[in-house]
């Protein structure tokens, strides 16, 4: 029996004893003492389960919405990673390839062909809303799945099975292939996992469907030479590269000092800095 089941069993047993003693020995001193002791035990149990419910209320709501309300409706899921690169108090941002705004280096994860059986089992469809210069992005983890299978797919993603787990591909495509950074100097990089950010289930901003966006956030850990190169780059900017302070990111590109917008910044960039979703 696991810990939670043991606590439930103890709770039920204590409650049963209290009811029995109250009915059988309503005025007995020893019975009253035992009842008082059991009430204290039950109070602790009730407190524990109250905290458990409050902690998991979001999961419960998501379970209800996906398994019941949206059970047979398609929900859009997007699984991505973002790499925060900070130098001298400013963050390096790159231009999004599909929109006129800037964001952290990163993009959608890809799945491997070995995931085909699982995706077929859960009726997963590729999301065809976004195109690259080569057409629809193949095997990107931007997908659509029936609500009843949403939590199964999120669980699969968290298992890291049959999917890309490295963040190197987008780093290379956005910073090395574009020659923003030196290919030799940055051929090896270190970064650390910060946390995973998941948005609520809600209406997609531009699409006619409900969606959940999930981002894994990482921090680049440059060595001494890489840190110097990034420092030298920090005073440069062009149409593909921008540097932004935390204040500028939090205002999504609006300069509060000059009272004018400098450039547009994607909202998910703000979420990644604060590690918290916010409605814009």
Q: Please report how the helices 29-55 and 3-24 are oriented relative to each other, as an axis angle in degrees rounded to 10.
A: 150
Query: Domain coordinates of the chain in residue numbers?
Result: 3-55, 72-274
DSSP state of 66: I
pLDDT of 145: 96
- Average pLDDT of the segment spanning 204-227: 94
Confidence check: pLDDT of 1 > 60: no
- Report how far residue 108's alpha carbon sits from residue 118's, in angstroms, rounded to the nearest whole number: 19
Q: How confident is the model at residue 265 (pLDDT cuts 50, 70, 90)?
A: very high
Do residues 136 and 126 make contact, with C-beta atoms less than 8 angstroms apart?
yes
pLDDT of 258: 79
pLDDT of 257: 80
DSSP state of 167: S
pLDDT of 135: 46
pLDDT of 121: 96
Q: How confident is the model at residue 84 (pLDDT cuts 50, 70, 90)?
A: very high
Q: How confident is the model at residue 213 (pLDDT cuts 50, 70, 90)?
A: very high
pLDDT digit string, tens, across residues 3-56: 655 665 656 665 676 566 566 656 665 665 665 666 665 555 555 555 555 455
Please give the span between the terminal C-alpha atoms of the chain, in angstroms, as a whole number.
46
pLDDT of 22: 65
Q: Which residue in the block uniquely carries the two structure tokens 């039920």?
A: 12
pLDDT of 260: 86
pLDDT of 63: 87
- Average pLDDT of the segment spanning 130-157: 82
- Contacts with 147 (C-beta within 8 Å, 6 or more apart), sequence order: 65, 66, 67, 69, 70, 71, 72, 73, 74, 75, 210
More confident residue, 203 or 12: 203
């Amino acid at each position: 029996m696991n810990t939670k089941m043991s606590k439930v069993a103890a709770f039920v047993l204590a409650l049963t004893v209290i009811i029995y003693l109250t009915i059988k020995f309503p005025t007995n001193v020893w019975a009253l003492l035992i009842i008082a002791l059991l009430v204290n035990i039950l109070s602790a149990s009730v407190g524990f389960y109250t905290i458990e419910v409050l902690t998991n209320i979001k999961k419960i709501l998501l379970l209800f919405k996906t398994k019941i309300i949206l059970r047979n409706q398609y929900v859009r899921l997007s699984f991505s990673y973002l790499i925060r690169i900070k130098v001298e108090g400013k963050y390096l941002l790159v231009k999004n390839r599909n929109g006129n705004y800037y964001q952290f280096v990163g993009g959608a994860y890809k799945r491997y062909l070995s995931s085909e059986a699982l995706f077929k089992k859960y009726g997963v469809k590729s999301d065809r809303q976004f195109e690259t210069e080569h057409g629809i992005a193949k095997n990107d983890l931007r997908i659509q799945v029936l609500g009843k299978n949403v939590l199964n797919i999120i669980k699969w993603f968290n298992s890291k099975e049959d999917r890309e787990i490295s963040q190197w591909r987008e780093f290379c495509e956005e910073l090395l292939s574009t020659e923003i950074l030196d290919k030799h100097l940055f051929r090896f990089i270190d970064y650390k996992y910060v946390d995973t950010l998941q948005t609520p289930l809600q209406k997609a901003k531009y699409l006619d469907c409900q969606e959940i966006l999930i981002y894994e956030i990482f921090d680049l850990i440059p060595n001494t030479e890489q840190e110097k190169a990034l420092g030298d780059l920090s005073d440069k900017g062009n149409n593909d590269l921008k540097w932004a302070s935390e204040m500028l990111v939090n205002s999504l590109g609006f300069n509060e000092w000059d009272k004018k917008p400098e450039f547009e910044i994607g909202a998910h960039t703000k979420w990644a800095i604060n590690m918290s979703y916010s409605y814009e």
